C-alpha cells in the first residue's frame, strides 16, 4: 500500500470523490437574471458547470456567486461549504503552484497550504460578504503563494550556530584535550509574535563570554551602524593573539640582517 500524498490539494480532491459528499451541499442557482427559473446543483454538477464542456460564462458567474454565499454562511461542523469553494478553486490555482515551484524551487505542499490559508483568511474577513468575488479570492491565493516563495528564496543558510558548537572557545582555555569540561549556557530564542523572522524556536548552548563577545552584537534601534562596527573591531582585537600582526609582512630594521 502506497502512502498518501502530503498535498493539501490532493486531500481536498479525495474528500469530494467520496459518494456521500457530492450531495452534502446543494446549490440553488438561477438560470436567468430575473431568477425566474432555478436549478439545484450538487458539488459535481457545480464543477461541471464551471469547467465542463460548453459551460456558459454567465451561468458560471451565477454558480460562483452561490458558492461564495454558501461558504460565507457555512455553519456546519465540517465546513463543507468552505471546502466546496476550495475544491472548485483548485483548477485555477494548480498552474500557479507549478510555476512557483519551478521558478523559485519552493516546496509544493507548503505553497498549496499557503494558498488555502489565503482563501480561508479572505472568507473570515469582516467585510468579506460585501467585497469578495471569485476573482479577488483567486488573486489573493496566487499573490500569497508568490510572496511566500520569494520570502523563502531570500533566506540564506547560516553556519553561525554550528560554528559556536565547534569553536575552540567552547573548550577549556588552555586547549588541552584532557581539560575539565566547562559548562555552557543554554540559550532559548522564542519565536516572535510578528509574521516575519523565526518560524520556530531555537535552542543551543555556548559559553557566556563567547556569546557576548562574538556571536551576538548589540542590535538595539538606538545603536547605529558605526557603533556596531566599532564593537566588532573591538571584539576582533580581543580575540587576536598577542604578538601576531595582521597585514603585510614588516621589513627588518635597517642595519640588521634578516
Q: Provide the grid cell at 219.
A: 542590535
Whether 22 and 134 map to the same domain: the answer is yes
**pLDDT at site 10:** 94
Q: Which residues, in sequence order, are CB contacts of 169 under 8 Å at separation 6+?
A: 207, 209, 210, 214
Query: With bands split at pLDDT 50, 70 and 90, how would you rate the model's confidence at 197?
Result: low
Whether 15 and 29 map to the same domain: the answer is yes
Give just the sign of the alpha carbon dihedral 216, 218, 190, 141. Answer: negative
Mean pLDDT on 170-192? 59
Q: What are phi and psi of 255, to 5 degrees?
A: 90, 0
Query: With bands split at pLDDT 50, 70 and 90, how would you rate the model's confidence at 173?
Result: very low
Domains identified in the chain, total number: 2
Domain stop point among 123, 154, 185 = 154
Asked whether residue 255 is assigned to any structural domain, the reply reads: no
- 113 to 85, 101, 102, 142, 228: CA distances (angstroms): 15, 13, 17, 12, 40
- Number of neighbouring beta carbons within 10 Å of residue 249: 5
Whether 40 and 90 map to the same domain: the answer is yes
pLDDT of 95 above 80: yes
**pLDDT at site 55:** 84
CA 160-161-163 angle, to 5 degrees, is: 65
Asked whether residue 3 is assigned to any structural domain, the reply reads: no
Domain stop point among 135, 154, 173 = 154
Mean pLDDT on 99-119? 94
Spatial separation of the C-alpha atoms in residues 149 and 105, rounded to whole Å: 8
Range of the domain at 104: 8-154
Q: Provide the grid cell at 42.
A: 450538487
Whether 142 and 171 map to the same domain: the answer is no
Asked whether residue 206 is assigned to any structural domain, the reply reads: yes
Task: Give tens-digit pLDDT for 207-232.
Answer: 666 666 555 544 444 455 555 555 55
Whether 48 and 126 map to the same domain: the answer is yes
Whether 26 and 99 map to the same domain: the answer is yes
Spatial separation of the C-alpha atoms in residues 74 and 238, rounded to whole Å: 65
Whether 80 and 139 map to the same domain: the answer is yes
Asked whether residue 246 is assigned to any structural domain, the reply reads: no
Domain stop point among 137, 154, 171 = 154
Whether 55 and 181 map to the same domain: the answer is no
Asked whether residue 256 is assigned to any structural domain, the reply reads: no
Asked whether residue 102 is assigned to any structural domain, the reply reads: yes
Asked whether residue 53 is assigned to any structural domain, the reply reads: yes
Nearest CA-CA partner of 134 in 55, 65, 71, 70: 65
3-state secondary structure the chain: CCCCCCCHHHHHHHHHHCHHHHCCCCEEEECCCCCCCEEEECHHHHHHHHHCCCCCHHHHHHHHHHHHHHHHCCCCCCCHHHHHHHHHHHHHHHHHHHHHHHHHCCCHHHHHHHHHHHHHHHHCCCCHHHHCCHHHHHHHHHHHHHHHHHHHHHCCCCCHHHHHHHCHHHCCCCCCCCCCCCCCEEEEECCCCCCCCCCCCEEEEECHHHHHHHHCCCCCCCCCHHHHHHHHHHHHHHHCCCCCCCCCCCCCCCCCCC
Amino acid at each position: 500500500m502506497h502512502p498518501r500524498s502530503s498535498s493539501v490539494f490532493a486531500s481536498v480532491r479525495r474528500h469530494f470523490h467520496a459518494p456521500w459528499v457530492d450531495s452534502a451541499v446543494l446549490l440553488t442557482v438561477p438560470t436567468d437574471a430575473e431568477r425566474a427559473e432555478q436549478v439545484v446543483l450538487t458539488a459535481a454538477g457545480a464543477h461541471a458547470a464551471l469547467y465542463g464542456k460548453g459551460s456558459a460564462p454567465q451561468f458560471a458567474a451565477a454558480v460562483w456567486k452561490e458558492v461564495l454565499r454558501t461558504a460565507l454562511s457555512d455553519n456546519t461542523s465540517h465546513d463543507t461549504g468552505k471546502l466546496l469553494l476550495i475544491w472548485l478553486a483548485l483548477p485555477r490555482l494548480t498552474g500557479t503552484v507549478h510555476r512557483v515551484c519551478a521558478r523559485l524551487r519552493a516546496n509544493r505542499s507548503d505553497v498549496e497550504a499557503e494558498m488555502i490559508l489565503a482563501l480561508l483568511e479572505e472568507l473570515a474577513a469582516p467585510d468579506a460578504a460585501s467585497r469578495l468575488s471569485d476573482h479577488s479570492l483567486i488573486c489573493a491565493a496566487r499573490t500569497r503563494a508568490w510572496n511566500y516563495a520569494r520570502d523563502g528564496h531570500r533566506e540564506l543558510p547560516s553556519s553561525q550556530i554550528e560554528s559556536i558548537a565547534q569553536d575552540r572557545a567552547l573548550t577549556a582555555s588552555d586547549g588541552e584535550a584532557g581539560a575539565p569540561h566547562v559548562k555552557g549556557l543554554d540559550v532559548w530564542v522564542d519565536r516572535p509574535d510578528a509574521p516575519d523572522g523565526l518560524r520556530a524556536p531555537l535552542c543551543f548552548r555556548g559559553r557566556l563570554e563567547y556569546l557576548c563577545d562574538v556571536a551576538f552584537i548589540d542590535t538595539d534601534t538606538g545603536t547605529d551602524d558605526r557603533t556596531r562596527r566599532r564593537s566588532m573591531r573591538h571584539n576582533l582585537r580581543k580575540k587576536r593573539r598577542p604578538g601576531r600582526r595582521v597585514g603585510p609582512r614588516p621589513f627588518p630594521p635597517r642595519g640588521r640582517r634578516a
